[in-house]
Structure 1
Amino acid sequence: MKNKLSNMMCLDLFLDSLSKKNYKAIEHELITSESTKYPLLNFGLFADNFSTAMSKLNRENDINTVKEFASKYNWNESLDQIFKNEDFEAIVLTNKKQEIIWVNDGFKKMTGFHKNYAIKKTPSFLQGSKTCEITRETIREKIKENKPFAGTVINYRKNKTPYKCEIKIFPLFSKDTTHYIALEKAV
């Protein structure tokens, strides 16, 4: 039975790759009796591919939204360089005062906080008793010096559970620093 299922899966994948014209040419050979119907065996592959495609599309949409902000504020940074090879769940965009002006949908998935809740707050609202004070101070110093920061911080979700957050913060310039972008992921 295992071999038969494997062959059916291969046939399913093969048929899926055919053009409509080529499929029509062999369709008459594929008709089977009611007793030989099998479940769709490659739905897992379809679901995996669909999930990968949606993740890629969400990433592209997030990057394009940040590029719209870049155009509005005339940032000099190459955002493509910032995003190149970066794996992130959440994007947090803040102004010079570190007030959040935009977060992506991944922010809610990672933290549990709705996007609208985060707007006009500083990212420190995610910190708590287990957040390392040395890390907090290092972040403040890097921002004060307009230098990038990369590290791990303990943050808290809306339900008060702590999580390790890998964070990379980049200053964004026009003539002077105008904003900061943080790429974040739970680790």
Structure 2
Amino acid sequence: MKYNLAKMYALDIYLSNLTNEEYDKIKHKIGTQKSKQMPLLSWDIYMDGYHNRMTEAKKRIELEKVLAFAKQFNWQNDLEVDFSENDYDALIITDKNQKIIWVNDGFSTMTGYSKSFAINKTPRFLQGSNTSLITKARIKSKIKRNKPFKEVIINHRKDKSIYKCEVKIIPLYYKKTTHFLALEKQVI
């Protein structure tokens, strides 16, 4: 049954890409047996699974990139646990002075800023008139403690629109803190 469905989908995809003239040339070769129409829901289920697999693959690639940085800088953090326990849309790695050294594609999607624009800037460029001074002070204080923390901050996209961002900051260390990892996601 699965094989027949796969053949039907493959044929449907092939036929949908033909011009009317191409279809007229081959329609006599297609069987006259009527196949049962599959509801659109089956395609939706397939695409949901496909999207989930692609998201997981992208996150594995991002983890591998962060692990490459970990190897380069000899970080002692268990980053695989940090990734498995935290949901995120955007990733930012900064040096100890909070200058950005790397961002993922999700950062550009969430903020509208390109990766190249973000490099060597501090994440403060995302803050603006709607960003709370109290929240900024709290984040600064927590960073100085060199302990992981979560905070919600209002940031500004490149198009000047605002969004609430939950950020989890993880100090990355080799004997002492050398970098910070921010796992960020937009919240309502």
Instruction: Give the CA deviation at 1:102.
Output: 0.2
Aligned-partner Cα distance in 2 for 1:98–1:122:
5
Aligned-partner Cα distance in 2 for 1:142–1:180:
12
The amino acid of 1:121's aligned partner reads K
Aligned-partner Cα distance in 2 for 1:148–1:37:
55
Unaligned 5+ residue runs, structure 1? 1-10, 17-30
Q: How many residues align?
A: 164
Deviates more, 1:114-123 or 1:142-151: 142-151
Matched with 1:130 is: 130
Matched with 1:6 is: none
Please state whether the residue corresponding to 1:160 is helix, strand or coil.
Answer: coil
Matched with 2:94 is: 94
Instruction: Give the CA deviation at 1:58.
Output: 0.6
Instruction: Give the CA deviation at 1:126.
Output: 0.3
Matched with 1:38 is: 37
RMSD of Structure 2 on Structure 1 (CA): 2.2
Aligned-partner Cα distance in 1 for 2:167–2:120:
20
The amino acid of 1:141's aligned partner reads S
The amino acid of 1:99's aligned partner reads K
Matched with 2:160 is: 160
Aligned-partner Cα distance in 1 for 2:119–2:146:
22
Instruction: Give the CA deviation at 1:50.
Output: 0.9
Matched with 1:104 is: 104
* TM-score normalised to structure 2 length: 0.80
Unaligned 5+ residue runs, structure 2? 7-29
Instruction: Give the CA deviation at 1:85.
Output: 2.3
Residue by residue, what CA displacement relative to the aligned partner does 1:41-66 show, whole Å, maximum 9, x if unpaired?
42212211111100000111111100
Instruction: Give the CA deviation at 1:146.
Output: 1.1
Aligned-partner Cα distance in 2 for 1:13–1:186:
41
Tell me if 1:81 matches 2:81: yes
Please state whether the residue corresponding to 1:77 is helix, strand or coil.
Answer: coil
Instruction: Give the CA deviation at 1:37.
Output: 6.5
Q: Any residues of structure 2 matched to 1:134-149 within 5 Å, and which?
A: 134-149=134-149
Instruction: Give the CA deviation at 1:139.
Output: 1.0
Residue by residue, what CA displacement relative to the aligned partner does 1:146-177 show, whole Å, maximum 9, x if unpaired?
12221100001110000000000010111211
Aligned-partner Cα distance in 2 for 1:60–1:163:
26
Aligned-partner Cα distance in 1 for 2:127–2:53:
33
